[in-house]
Amino acid sequence: MSKRKSTAKAILSNLHALRERRYVGDLDASDTLIDFERALTLAKLTKRQSEAIRLVYDVGLTQKQAAAEMGVGQEVVNEHLRKATEELDEVYEYWAWLDGELTPEMFTDDEIYSEVVA
């Protein structure tokens, strides 16, 4: 993955605000949420990754509370969230690549570049 900021983390950290803004006519918020739902599907997250996202970002639990709910340690929830955001960011990077927003020069690692164009 390139050294870009995490789109997934930005959306997840503002998820509630985005949901509220769509009800006041903010079409950009609606578009962002539609794209995010599509990215969730395309990322093919594991059930545990999806559950961690739901508990922390939809329900609003802390990672510690989510861990108790899931019957795992907080470190496991943290790892599920980290991997999930990486998977989601890969979807967003792919879309950016298709839209011409990313160029080979933006990548710092030749191996990563070969994965994107493959």
Query: What's 59's DSSP letter?
Result: I
pTM, full prediction = 0.78
Place of tokens 């019957």: 71
Among candidate residues 84, 87, 112, the one with its CA nearest the CA of residue 2: 112
Helix/strand/coil percentages in the chain, nearest 5: 75, 0, 25
Tens digit of each residue's pLDDT (9 = 90 or more) over 58-109: 999 999 999 999 999 999 999 999 999 999 999 998 888 876 766 666 655 5
7-117 under CATH 1.10.10.10, yes or no:
yes
Domain ranges of the chain: 7-117
Positive or negative: CA dihedral 101, 105, 108, 109? positive
